[in-house]
């Protein structure tokens, strides 16, 4: 996951109110994803939840 501008050809979708650019090659693997925030050991980050089979 990266915080960058979408590349040409990316599909831009909204997940939990946040715009996310997805490469069309893996779009079918993102159908049930949700975007969440989690803190561990005093540090926080974004998580994609629901991905059963990645890359």
Q: What is the pLDDT of residues 5-43, one digit of tens each?
A: 889 999 998 877 878 888 899 888 778 878 788 999 999
pTM of the model: 0.54
Six-digit token pair at 24? 């069309």
Three-state DSSP state, 35: strand
Query: Taking a C-beta distance cutoff of 8 angstroms, is the pair 43, 23 a contact?
Result: no
Task: Detail the DSSP E strand segments found in the chain.
Answer: 11-15, 18-22, 34-40, 43-49
d(CA 10, CA 5): 10
């Amino acid at each position: 996951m990266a915080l960058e501008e979408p590349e040409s050809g990316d599909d831009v979708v909204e997940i939990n109110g946040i715009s996310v650019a997805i490469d069309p090659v893996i779009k079918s693997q993102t159908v049930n994803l949700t975007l969440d925030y989690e803190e561990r050991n005093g540090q926080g980050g974004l998580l994609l939840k629901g991905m059963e089979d990645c890359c």
